[in-house]
């Protein structure tokens, strides 16, 4: 079987490292950065490469699994560029943290039967192939999104891909996926950036010395790839903006309770502590 990994960054590079340990797979890379291809060839994590996505229409690629592992906005362009492969025998998946915009393309093409979207909930605040890791997906959640028209052979191929890397698999419809991740992942990243802006605007320059536990962990998220997060924020903007609105309402509630008395704020904090311990 041929597996074509489009984008050999942190995620694509880590997939290649895992798959290169499995026999009987021919792993091909595609990356506009030729240095990434050369590194992956040198590391023997890919067996070869393609120069042009049009090559995938050649007969010998008929059994392929294509993984789009580029930043989210590039994934839109690439999915569209692969439209000649829609409803073929080739299985197509991706690794993007947002799904709604990809699903708009699927809608436009009347839900091709060979596309299964994947979101491996794994990564790092570091990016790029040089930070890719063997075992990155082990025991990590991978969320699959696909419509009713998708053929089960394609679903199985994508499930088996992630299972071979010891990931755990869940299903969420694309719009539910984007709503859930707006709150569980995208909102915490927004907050990390907003906190950094707040600290950056202060006169006091030595805040970091006095940060104690907590702040460092919050700010770590802001070291992530700016390109990827700009893509995620704009591609999931409706959900994220409504999540920020809800957060701001809750900040206002906390402000008003802080202004009143200790008992009222203490009751709220205790209620939230209990909720946290039961659910997270």
Pick the binder of a second copy from 122, 136, 161, 165 (CB under 8 A): 122
Provide the minimum distance between the beta carbon of 135 and a second copy in the complex, in angstroms, as a whole number.
15
Q: In the window 34-63, what residues touch a second copy (CB under 8 A)? A: none
**Measured on CA atoms in the order 36, 38, 43, 44, is the torsion positive or negative?**
positive
The residues pairing with 2 across neighbouring beta strands, listed in sequence order, are: 26
Please give the Cα distance from 241 to 187 (Å, whole number): 9
Rule CB under 8 A: which of 242-271 touch a second copy?
Answer: 243-244, 246-248, 250-255, 258-259, 261-263, 265-266, 268-270
CA 258 to chain centre: 37
Q: Which two tokens stand for residue 240?
A: 């994220």
Residues of this chain, 221-240, that bind a second copy according to CB under 8 A: 221-224, 226-227, 229-231, 233-234, 237, 240
SS3 string, 113-172, reads CCECEEEECCCCCCCCHHHCCCCCCCCCEEEEECCCCCCHHHHHHHHHHHHHCCCEEEEC
Stretch that binds a second copy, among 19-27, 47-55, 81-89, 215-223 (CB under 8 A): 215-223
52 or 262: CB nearest a second copy: 262
Task: Check residue 10 for interaction with a second copy (CB under 8 A).
Answer: no
* Site for a second copy contains 11 (CB under 8 A): no
Using CB under 8 A as the binding rule, whether residue 195 contacts a second copy is answered as yes
């Amino acid at each position: 079987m041929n597996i074509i990994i489009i984008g050999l960054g942190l995620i694509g590079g880590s997939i290649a490292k895992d798959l290169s340990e499995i026999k009987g797979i021919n792993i091909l890379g595609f990356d506009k950065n030729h240095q990434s291809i050369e590194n992956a060839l040198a590391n023997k994590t890919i067996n070869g490469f393609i120069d042009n996505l049009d090559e995938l229409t050649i007969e010998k690629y008929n059994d392929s699994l294509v993984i789009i592992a580029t930043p989210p906005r590039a994934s839109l362009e690439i999915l569209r560029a692969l439209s000649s492969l829609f409803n073929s025998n080739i299985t197509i998946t991706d690794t993007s943290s947002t799904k709604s915009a990809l699903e708009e393309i699927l809608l436009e093409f009347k839900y091709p039967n060979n596309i299964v979207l994947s979101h491996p909930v794994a990564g790092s605040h570091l990016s790029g192939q040089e930070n890719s890791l063997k075992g990155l997906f082990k025991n990590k959640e991978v969320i699959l999104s696909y419509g009713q028209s998708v053929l089960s052979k394609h679903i199985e191929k994508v499930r088996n891909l992630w299972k071979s890397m010891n990931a755990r698999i869940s299903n969420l419809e694309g719009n539910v996926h984007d709503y859930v991740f707006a709150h569980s992942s995208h909102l915490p990243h927004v907050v990390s950036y907003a906190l950094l802006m707040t600290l950056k605007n202060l006169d006091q320059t030595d805040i970091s010395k006095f940060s104690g536990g907590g702040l460092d962990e919050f700010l770590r998220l802001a070291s992530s790839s700016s390109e990827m997060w700009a893509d995620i924020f704009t591609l999931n903007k409706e959900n994220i903006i409504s999540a920020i609105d809800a957060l701001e309402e809750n900040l206002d509630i906390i402000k008003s309770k802080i202004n009143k008395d200790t008992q009222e704020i203490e009751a709220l904090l205790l209620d939230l502590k209990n909720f946290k311990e039961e659910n997270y």
